[in-house]
Amino acid sequence: MLLKSILNRVQLHRGFVYGAVRWSESRGRRVLEIEIRARKGSRPTCSGCGRRASGYDVLSKRRFEFVPLWGIAVFFLYAMRRVACPRCGVKVERVPWAEGKNHLTTTYAWFLARWAKRLSWKEVGAVFQTSWDNVFRSVKMAVAWGLSHRNLENVTAIGIDEIAWKRGHKYLTLVYQIDAGCRRLLWVGQERTQKTLRQFFKDFGQERTARLTFICSDMWKPYLRIVAEVAGQALHVLDRFHIMTHVSKAIDQVRAKEAKELKAHGQQPVLTGSRWCLLKRPENLSETQTVKLKELLKLNLKTVRAYLLKEDLGRFWHYKTPGWAGRFLDDWCKRTMRSRLTPMKKVARMLRSHRGLLLNWFRAKGRVALGAVEGLNNKAKVTSRKAYGYRSFDVLKVALYHTLGDLPEPKVTHRFC
């Protein structure tokens, strides 16, 4: 079977025919070149307005990289025509296999972008002997296409989240859809200010915002303020995952301070290496960590008291009704305020002042995927960490949409990967 007949089956372009296939060389390696010719009598399409017009002249041949075959790079070779368009003047024609000045065929760009979901961009470049830039540009194209073709009409529940980047010096605001059955990244913005979130709602649109019934977020003031102002009709739920993060941070502060004090008094360094025993969920501890935790719990330490308060707060989320949950919360806060652990008292005060929003959790339970934010947050963190190359916001944004956006792809006759 000739290569041409395979191509005609997987990638047929109306108005064009495949010609000779031959060996050639590119940057010191053997490559395949496939000629493309315009079908006789066909008229070129103007790249300005997309309408057909008569030909003006023919430019010299250009190469377009296609999906490699058996590890051999493949190029289309085509002499672009220029059209004499009555509306746009003399313009280069539009061809169906590549966009604008891109030297990668659209099929190859989608091929790279799809691999970039499974491997790091660097790995994709290495495997297919192409540059990081080509992979990035392909992903960017896929994201742009996906964003302009996605459907946002079914969004009724969103989660607002932030992640740190640039070694924790900067924050990004991420908005997810958390409807049961549809969880994805909807939006990425710089910083975590009122202005950031206001921009999301502006981009999202008034009508869609009015359709929101659940919004899940952290206790971060700028978020709370904007949600109340812009989407007051939605049930605002404070996210369990973010609240437990605050508690973990408080334990960490208690532990660090106590470890220092113990050291200053020349006592046994019992707290050394205890950090993860205290922060991880008990069921996720290793065997050594479990033993270490058991030993720790026997000691009369501030850190231990803080830990027990955290474990106790975990019960809060298991209540069925807001009434009982509220009673538990009040009791927990009262006990914590008497604990003489400053960081923990700070948490208790924070929870008290957000009592109403916290209890909304029980009103939303079962109606929305409340745990979704944590999972998406972990994925977002991995994506931003994996990326040494994502120093700029724009690159990180593209990477996040690509991995978390669940973006649509165009329908094609043949999938190359």
Nearer to Zn ion, 88 or 337 (CB): 88
Task: Provide, rounded to whole angstroms, the least separation between the CB of residue 100 and Zn ion.
Answer: 15
Q: What is the DSSP letter of 285?
A: -
Out of 17, 21, 31, 49, point to the residue binding Zn ion (CB under 5 A). 49
Helices (H), 265-392: 275-279, 287-297, 302-313, 322-337, 342-353, 355-364, 372-386
What is the rounded distance in angstroms from the CA atom of residue 217 to the CA atom of residue 243? 10
In whole angstroms, the minimum distance from the beta carbon of 83 to Zn ion comes to 7
Q: 400-411 burial, b for 16+ CB within 10 Å, e for fewer?
A: bbbbbbebeeee
**Cβ at position 86, least distance to Zn ion in Å:** 8
87 binds Zn ion (CB under 5 A): yes
Tally of CB atoms within 10 A around 272? 11
SS3 category, 79: strand
Q: How far apart are CA 208 and CA 226, in angstroms?
A: 16
Which stretch in 38-46, 198-206, 250-258, 266-274 sits in contact with Zn ion by CB under 5 A? 38-46
* Residues 6 or more apart in contact with residue 283 via CB below 8 angstroms: none
Considering the rule CB under 5 A, would residue 85 count as an interface residue with Zn ion?
A: yes
Closer residue to Zn ion (CB): 48 or 389: 48
Which tokens hold the place of 302? Answer: 């501030």
Choose, by CB under 5 A, the member of 15, 19, 48, 55 that binds Zn ion.
48
92 binds Zn ion (CB under 5 A): no
CB 161 within 8 A of CB 219: no
Smallest distance, Å, CB 90 to Zn ion?
Answer: 10
Cβ atoms 293, 282 nearer than 8 A: yes
- Pick the binder of Zn ion from 17, 31, 88, 256 (CB under 5 A): 88
Least Cβ distance, residue 45 to Zn ion (angstroms): 9
Q: How near is the Cβ of 81 to Zn ion at its closest, in Å?
A: 13
CA angle 379, 211, 378 (to 5 degrees): 10
Query: Does residue 306 belong to the site contacting Zn ion (CB under 5 A)?
Result: no
Residues contacting residue 342 through CB under 8 Å, at least 6 positions apart: none
Q: Tokens in use for 82? A: 């220029």
Span interacting with Zn ion, options 86-94, 125-133, 254-262, 311-319, rule CB under 5 A: 86-94
Task: Using CB under 5 A, count the residues that bind Zn ion.
Answer: 6
Q: Which is nearer to Zn ion, 31 or 49 (CB)?
A: 49
Give 85 or 279: the residue with its C-beta nearer to Zn ion.
Answer: 85
Residue 87 vs 349, nearer CB to Zn ion: 87
Q: Contact, 76 vs 67, CB < 8 A? A: no
Choices 88-96, 187-195, 297-305, 333-341 (CB under 5 A): range interacting with Zn ion: 88-96
CB of 47 to Zn ion, least distance (A): 8
Toward Zn ion, which CB reaches closer, 45 or 377? 45
DSSP state of 112: H
From 208, 217, 250, 218, select the one nearest 345 (Cα to Cα).
250
**Which CB atom, from 84 or from 219, has the smaller least distance to Zn ion?**
84
The answer to whether residues 212 and 234 touch, using CB atoms and an 8 Å cutoff, is yes
φ/ψ of 268, rounded to 5, equals: -55, 135
Q: Which is nearer to Zn ion, 83 or 396 (CB)?
A: 83
Minimum distance, C-beta of residue 99 to Zn ion, in the bound complex (Å): 17
Within 98-157, the residues that bind Zn ion by CB under 5 A are none
Q: Does 84 bind Zn ion (CB under 5 A)?
A: no
Residue with tokens 């009592």: 355
- Indicate the residue type of 212: L
What tokens were used for 166? 């640039």
Q: Which stretch binds Zn ion (CB under 5 A): 45-53, 211-219, 291-299, 383-391?
A: 45-53
| Residue 85 C-beta: closest distance to Zn ion, Å | 3
Q: Which is nearer to Zn ion, 56 or 393 (CB)?
A: 56
- Residue whose CB is less far from Zn ion, 52 or 198: 52
Q: Given the rule CB under 5 A, which of 84-92, 105-113, 219-227, 354-362 is the region that contacts Zn ion?
A: 84-92
**Contact between 46 and Zn ion per CB under 5 A:** yes
**Alpha helix segments (H runs only) across 16-131:** 106-118, 121-127
What are the residues binding Zn ion (CB under 5 A)? 46, 48-49, 85, 87-88
